[in-house]
Structure formats: structure tokens, C-alpha cells
Amino acid sequence: MAKTGSHESVTRTEAKWTAVAPRRSYGPRSPVRAWVSRPWRELRQLEKTARTGWGQGRRLWLGVAATLMAIAVDLMLAEPTVRRALWSIGDVSASLPVGLELWRLPMSVFLPTPYLPEWGAVLQLVVVLGLGELVLGGTVTLLTAGVGQLAATFGARLLIESPVGHLVGLPHALVYALDTGPSAVTVAVGAAVLVASKCDCLAAVLAVSLVGVAFVGPGLDGPEHLIGLVCGVAIGACCRQGRRARTPGVPYPGAT
């Protein structure tokens, strides 16, 4: 009986301290701290979404194939004869007939651009297209890349040929400017991945950086990147809304 009474006394004492002792509180979270930490949370969420895609059987075939193609083209450009042939089927500018420019457009993605080293192009392709396959799937990634490249190239062409092209940094003098490289493709796919994964803060950072580059660096790249960005955001929003519709009541990755 004594032991029982002692045990009850200890239990009452613990209950008393539990009831009286206040929980440690750090107060409301600072808005600045929440804003700074949000990109890191979204990066972790993006990694989680990519891992989920890998678990569902998605692989990086498109990213690997595009990367190997870019490396192969870079090696073949060292041979003068092959170099001329490659440029003849991939050299794109707004001065070409529309049909010929459209025919050369796929190859132009893998040809070098003056403002991007080859290792940068390879890194863009393997990372962005790889993430696109894991998050969006291979078909949607390929569709986004094609739409982004087409819209960016021919959107810039229309602006160059229009009377207001100089107002957006695309004067008619750029009609002969070389328009190659994977940037429009990777911008469109990257924006679609971020929006579809609900990484809205990272998507905003991407948009602000591209707008800044468009103002600072005149030429084809800035406006084309912004056109690719708009295409990617639109496709990513459609993917996000489509997945919500297919799984009602289930939070989309990144939802809070």
C-alpha cells in the first residue's frame, strides 16, 4: 500500500508540473525568415517530386540523349568538313525563309552560341530535361521544349520584322543574328517544372532574373527567354491543374 501511495504521489507531482510548466514558445515566425527559407523548402519539395517520379518508373532518357547529342556535335565541329555540314543544317537566323528556318530549328538547339560555353549547354540539357522527365514525364517535357523553341524563335522573328521591334530590344539589324543554343528549350522546361511542382518562389526568382538579363543584355536572347518563360509557365500551370483534377482531395506536391 505504501508503494502504491508513493507512486500516486509521484504521478500527481508529474501531472502538476506538466500542467503548470509552460511550453517554450519562440513567438510568431518572422516574415523575412519565412521568405528566405521558402526557396530551400521548395528545393526540397522539388527533390521529393523528382524522387517520386523516379519511383514511378520515369527515367532521364531524353536528358541523356540530348546531352550526348550536344557532346557529339561539339566533337564533330572540330572537323572542318563536318563543321560546314552541321552549320548548313542548323544555322538559324531571322533572314532565312520560314520553311528553311523551321527545318533547321531542331539542329540549332545543339549548335554552340556565342554567349554560352559548351559545358554550360550540356549542363543545362542534362539537369533541366532530366528534371522535366521526372516531374512532367517525357512526352510533356518534349512538347514543352518544342513549343518553347518554336515560340521563342518565331516570336523574336515577328518582333524583328515589326515596326515596334526596336522598343523591346529587337531592331531590324538583328535579322542576320545567329540564333542557336538550348536556352529557349531549357527556360521553357525549367519554368514548367517549377510551376507544376508548385515552386512558385523559385519560378518568381527565375522570372525576375530573366527580365533583368533582358534589360541588361540587348539582343535575341533576352526576349526569346521571356517568350520561352511564358510558354513554360502556361504548360506548367496546365499540368498542375490537370493533376489536381485527376486526384481530387489529394494535395499536390508542394501544397501547404
Q: What percent of the chain has pLDDT over 90?
A: 60
List of residues 6+ apart from 36 with CB closer than 8 A: none
How many angstroms separate the CA atoms of 62 and 181, rounded?
17
Across all residues in the chain, what is the average pLDDT? Answer: 84
CB atoms within 10 A of CB 191: 29
- pTM across the whole model: 0.82
| Bridge partner residues of 112 (DSSP) | none
For residues 153, 156, 158 and 160, what is the CA-based torsion angle, rounded to 10 degrees?
A: -130
Question: Over the Cα atoms of the chain, what is R_g?
Answer: 26
Q: Which residue has the higher pLDDT, 131 or 247?
A: 131
Domains in the chain: boundaries: 39-242
| N-term to C-term CA, the chain | 53
| Bridge partner residues of 116 (DSSP) | 113
Residue with cell 527567354: 225
How many angstroms separate the CA atoms of 217 and 150, rounded?
22
Residues 179-235 have pLDDT tens digits of 999 999 999 999 999 999 999 999 999 999 999 988 887 788 889 999 999 999 999
Q: How confident is the model at residue 113 (pLDDT cuts 50, 70, 90)?
A: confident
Model confidence at 34: pLDDT above 70: no
Give the CA count within 13 Å in the CB-facing half-sphere of 196: 28
Give the CA count within 13 Å in the CB-facing half-sphere of 109: 26
Q: Are 147 and 185 in contact (CB under 8 A)?
A: no
Mean pLDDT of 161-171: 85
Q: Are 195 and 240 in contact (CB under 8 A)?
A: yes
- Quick one: pLDDT at residue 118? 86
**CA angle (49 as vertex; 47, 50 as ends), nearest 5:** 65
How many angstroms separate the CA atoms of 51 and 164, rounded?
46
Q: Are 186 and 152 in contact (CB under 8 A)?
A: no
Q: What percent of the chain has pLDDT over 70?
A: 81
Q: Which residue has the higher pLDDT, 53 or 249?
A: 53
Separation of CA 130 from chain center: 10
How many angstroms separate the CA atoms of 151 and 51, rounded?
31
* CATH number for the domain whose boundaries are 39-242: 1.20.1540.10
| Nearest in space to 94 (alpha carbons), one of 171, 148, 182 | 171
| Nearest in space to 137 (alpha carbons), one of 66, 49, 251 | 49
Cell of 152: 521563342
Give the CA count within 13 Å in the CB-facing half-sphere of 59: 4
